[in-house]
A and B are shown apart, each in its own frame.
Chain A
Amino acid sequence: MSVETIGAVGGIGGASGVGGALGTLATGFGQGIADTDNAQMTRAVATGAATTVAPAGAAGAAALQAAQGAGGAQAAAGTGGDFAALLAGGLERLQGLQSSADQLAVKAATGDLTDVHDYMIASNEAQLATQLTTAIRNKAVEAFNEIMRMQI
């Protein structure tokens, strides 16, 4: 899987070369957070409806959702098992994004691609997912280093 993963990560740019595995991981991560966001979102929308009747309710709900989403992600990270499952699911989804982009790249090369934008959209999604994954990885490493620097 490691070689494949690396290849998948690279594939993000179109060829998806290095970033594949990392991107897959990151994608999974992002997905998990996104799922948490969804649950929080419904709550946020409900809260928004109850408290604000104004037309600005949608924006308010969105802001609420964003705020609550962040809280939800932190809560999920607090429990080890849930976070691991979240991460695994997210990685799997990133892998899916990468492989679909790779398949479309092959189609483009062989002339079987019917819609040009399909490949461009797939590669953009894979790229974004990879960026998200690396961002999360960087943040996690940052947090770990911060804790390791702690004076005992």
Chain B
Amino acid sequence: MKAKKVLSFISLLLIMAIALTACGENKQSTLNDQPEQSEETPAGGSETSQGAPAQILKYATDSEPIGLDPHTITAAASIRIFRQIYNTLVDVDDNMNFIPELAESWKQPDDLTYIFKLKEGVKFHNGREMVAEDVKYSFERVLDPEVAAIGKSYYDMIDTMEVVDNYTIKFTLKEPFAPFLTNLTSLYGAIVPKEVIEENGNLMQVACGTGPFKLKEWIPDNKIILEKNPDYYEEGLPKLDGIEYYVMTDESSRIAAIRTGNVHLIKLPASSISLLEGNKDVVIKPYQSNEYSFLGFNLDLDKFKDVRVRQAISYAVNRQEIIDLVYDGEATVTGFVTPAMGRWAIDYANEDLYKQNIEKAKQLMAEAGYPDGFETKIAVGLYDDIRATGEILQKQLEQIGIKATIENLESGQYVDAWSNRTHEMMAGRNGAGTDPNRAVAFFFSTTGSANVWGYSNPEVDALCNEGKVTVNESEREEIYKDAQERVLNDCPNIFMASPMEYFFVRANIEGFEPSTFNAEKFENIVIK
């Protein structure tokens, strides 16, 4: 009797489960290309007041944001979200020219003074107008040691800020600082409202900016929902009603989701292109990244102290082979100022050190006292392309007798090895930034925060200081080109490839053209 009861209960449960699943089949939240079907999307398919299906962009991302405070967070997964929410005073276009964002115009009466005229009528997401006082507050917050803002060093040169009137603010610098405008384009200098921070303590879980989208909901490890800011200062934008970010760490799941139309947009490495090529519902949108892959040396170690060893390694590396094998040919030979940075970059491809020359490499090794090479380790981690690069480097270095073992590090270990210089050689990928000052001084000046190699060249330091205070653009160009040549010659890192990046987009998405400096601009997107 009892067994019968139990059995019937179990069968009932099973039938319910099957029925629920079956009912759901037709109503699943796929984003079918036909509007009448997308009306049914329970996961995001609310309707606008006109009755048309809501224009909700679904974007499957690979990692969970950490927090949403633009002043204290560096993680790409967070920046992706809050760049839709916050604005800066100034922005750059694809050719690295400055364009107004919250500032309508600016003047520079002398090398130390910048006067910004703000756009009028720009509103924060809480409805209050953004005024000069907010700009002052935002930079005061960034400079406050208690906040531990990442961008403090970006704005340390600010001496005073003066609110001239509601829409005018005057910055006075301690010394001339050429990259000042560039640094203002960073989201580390996002303009935030004081009252929201005072109410919540910080901006980790809440968000209130002036950007095209505002935060509606963030469910950890699941999704982030942004909705349209109806008061956005750019007339008619954004065209979308909202964006939903889904965190899907597994690549095969993201591919399945775009293939079936459950999401509109994903990002994938070059190696995965073949999985979706030929699919007529998915369009591939490539753009040149501003990143470069490198092999760095621990310059505390005797063998790497000798510049001839480092140069020998540069001669031993076949960069084109790395590009062909790791990136399917879809990358550019680069230095630490990437080709995407246009006029600032020197012509790396023609550098002698970039041409593979095993004979010369062997000769340099012999001169340095390592005719038979040596044993060493290459630390790799964080990205699959870097792991693959490590394996090719291992093979290439064998040719000059360097026997390297690969240390595949988990992300925490990798960052640890990076910051504490416990590696021998380390392969990785860095972003060059939007100003050569960052690309050079941040990574290769003696006191640069990201100079984790122990590299020091007084001439490079002098050039960095000169470049910082030289306001004339063409003079700056020469200075940084000189610095690039010197760093290249010293080989504190071997620079390899600047890869392309890829968005995979459903065919019904229009108005999305990713570019190096504006990769995730979604304001113009329309879902057909």
B and A form one assembly: no
